[in-house]
Chains A and B, each alone.
Chain A
Amino acid sequence: MHALVVDDSRAMRRIVAGILTTLHFDPVEADNGVTALAELDRLTAADDLPALACIDWNMPVMDGLELISAIRADRRWRDITLMMVTTESEHGQIVRALAAGAHEYLIKPFTADAMADKLRYLGLVPAEVGA
């Protein structure tokens, strides 16, 4: 099961991808919203869409909020679960992300357990894995 990891920090992409790998995802990476959309197009053409996208908010070129809106606007990608993974922790920002179409919101810094909790709640990780 693919998971798209979108973050402009290579170190953070590696951390998120590492956690997702232990939860039996096969991560693919992108460093901003535009490259993420290109990656989604590529995966769509290969009929190999990710089940999950973990998306940072603050990125150059196209930020995470714009990316979420763009994914939500495209019917081909309606089954992808979107989780914002960001240092943005204001109440209003979380509401904005959820309103734009994010299904979950994980605030940095986070632990591997916290990410597993969210994915378990979203039904993407079985209850017993990583518990």
Chain B
Amino acid sequence: MPDPRTPAGAAPARAVAMTPADALWLRDLVRRRSAIVLDESKQYLLDTRLAPLVRSGGYDSVGELVAKARGGDRHVVGLIVDAMTTNETSWFRDTGPFEALRTVVLPALVRERAAERRVRIWSAACSSGQEAYSIAMICTEVLPPGWSVEIVGTDLSPAMVERASQGRFSQLEVNRGLPAQHLVRWFTRDGSHWQVSPQLKAMTRFREGNLAVPFTDLGRFDVVMLRNVLIYFDGDTKTDILRRTRGVTRPDGFLFLGAAETALGMDVGWYREQAASTSLLRPEGAAPLGPVRTRPGAVTGATGATARTSTTATTATRPSPARATAPAPTTSFVPRSRPAPLSLGGR
């Protein structure tokens, strides 16, 4: 099996190798610039993240790339820091948190924020913005008309903030985890790229932010997505980030970490709660969610089997898309179950 990240039919990445001294220098560079700790167990990150730079820059090896950076080429240094600190991302990455957001967290906020009719969500380490825009898509489905939502994406890398703000994605990027019905509903084709709709852009804003230093001017959030990024930091920094995140989360808010991440012993001030198939963190003192209320047609189950059952009503009309009369299927994101074919009737 070739590298799963190499497009089928594309030339494979050139073999790259770096010396232990190169690796040490790179780890030190990244640590100085971002407080991100890449110990030897993260060597694979150096290899996989720098391979595209070697290829696109026409270098013969990663050694040559590093030599250029060590020689003082600030442009190359910037590219390396960007590559090493960029959070890997795709649309609706891991379905569990998005299912929880859609079926538990946002409905809870609709009840709790009925007076304000406003929700603020932080996508921390937002990379090129896929998570933030995915959240925006879900908000359009779940929040009642008249509500306002602000999704703030922050990233260490100015290049990523710029990219996320543009909301312009390559073909390969929209292939990663973005359901086709969402693609045609929320994007327009622009040459070889896809442009996110003005409606989603209006719900999001992106700015630079370093998780390792105090958060300023962020305001307070109802939901914080801090997924798959703590792994880069050492224990003390993790504890500190979680403590400061508590400070920007409303007392009854929600914090999502990555599926494989535990914050055991570092999550002072938080408690763990189950929401759909995902566990999330709540500020200590927040009222537990309690039993999930079921809305007709909503996916509340923790398993794929339940999700399938709940879509039965929709799939029953499936064989003949022409006579499908269900509400436009593009409005419902049903993770891990098959969507009904798109109905163009009445659109």
Closest Cβ of chain B: how far from A126's Cβ, in Å? 8
Q: Which of B10, B189, B336, B342 contacts A90 (CB 8 A)?
A: B189
Q: Are B180 and A108 in contact (CB under 8 A)?
A: no
Interface string of B1-30 (1 = CB under 8 A from A): 110111111100000000000000000000
Q: Is the CB of A111 within 8 A of B341?
A: no
Contacts of B177 in A (CB 8 A): 114, 117-118, 121
Cβ A94 vs Cβ B180 within 8 A? yes
Interface of B is mostly: loop
Binary CB contact string for chain B from 93 to 105 against chain A (1 if under 8 A, 0 otherwise):
0111000000000
Number of A-B contacts defined by CB within 8 Å: 121
- Asked if B274 is at the interface of the complex by the 8 Å CB criterion, the answer is no
Tell me if A43 counts as interface (CB < 8 A to partner B).
no
B93 to A, closest residue via Cβ: A117
Give residues 101-138 of B contacting A (CB, 8 Å). Answer: none
Residues from chain A with Cβ under 8 Å of B343 in the complex? 99
B335 within 8 A of A: yes
Is A72 a contact partner of B319 (Cβ separation < 8 A)? yes
Contact with A along B235-279 (1 / 0, CB 8 A): 000000000000000000000000000000000000000000000
Query: Nearest A residue to B316 by beta-carbon distance?
Result: A78
Query: Which residues of A have CB within 8 Å of B166?
Result: none
- B158 interface residue (CB < 8 Å to A): no
Tell me if B304 and A105 are in contact (CB < 8 A).
no
CB-contact partner of B7 in A95, A102, A111, A118, under 8 A: A111
The answer on a CB contact under 8 Å between B9 and A15 is yes
Q: Please, which residue of chain B has its CB at the minimum distance from the CB of A83?
A: B180
Task: Tell me, yes or no, whether B176 is within 8 Å of chain A by CB.
Answer: yes
Q: Contact mask B327-343 → A, CB, 8 Å, 1/0?
A: 00000000111110111
Is B172 within 8 A of A109, CB to CB? yes
- Is there an interface contact between A127 and B336, defined as CB atoms closer than 8 Å? yes
| A122 with B338, Cβ < 8 A, contacts A15-B8, A22-B1, A78-B318 known | yes
- B96 and A127 contact, CB distance less than 8 A: yes
Complex Cα–Cα for A87 and B96 (A): 30
From A11, A12, A101, B341 is in contact (CB under 8 Å) with A101
The contact size tier of chain B is 35 or more
- Whether B8 and A110, one on each chain, are in contact in the complex, defined by CB atoms closer than 8 angstroms, is yes
- Are A112 and B1 touching (Cβ within 8 A)? yes
B344 within 8 A of A: yes
Binary interface encoding of chain A residues 85-107 relative to chain B, with 1 for a CB under 8 A from any of its CBs, else 0: 00001110011011111111111
Judge if A113 is at the interface, Cβ distance under 8 Å: yes
B175 in the interface (beta carbon within 8 A): yes
Residues of B with C-beta under 8 A to A2: none
With known contacts A22-B1, A95-B184, A109–B9 Cβ distance under 8 A: yes
User: Which residues of chain A are near B187, meaning CB under 8 Å?
Assistant: 91
Output the residue of B174, B187, B341 with the most chain A CB within 10 A.
Answer: B341
Task: Output the nearest chain B residue to A97 by Cβ-Cβ distance.
Answer: B180
State the CA gap A65–B61 with chains docked (Å): 44
Contact with B along A1-40 (1 / 0, CB 8 A): 0000000000110011011001000000000000000000
**Known A-B contacts A15-B9, A110-B7, A111-B175; A105 and B94 likewise in contact (beta carbons under 8 Å):** no
A49 CA / B335 CA spacing, docked (Å): 24
B175-214: CB near A (< 8 Å → 1, else 0) gives 1110111011001110000000000000000000000000
In the complex, the answer to whether B180 meets A111 with C-beta atoms within 8 Å is: no
Roughly how many angstroms separate A2 CA and B341 CA in the complex, as a whole number?
A: 22
How far is B203's CA from A53's CA once the two chains are assembled, in angstroms?
37
Would you call A117 and B321 a contact (CB within 8 A)?
Answer: no
Some 16 contacts from A to B, beta carbons below 8 A apart, are A22-B1, A89-B189, A90-B189, A91-B187, A91-B188, A94-B180, A102-B341, A108-B8, A108-B9, A113-B5, A117-B177, A121-B92, A123-B307, A123-B308, A126-B304, A127-B336
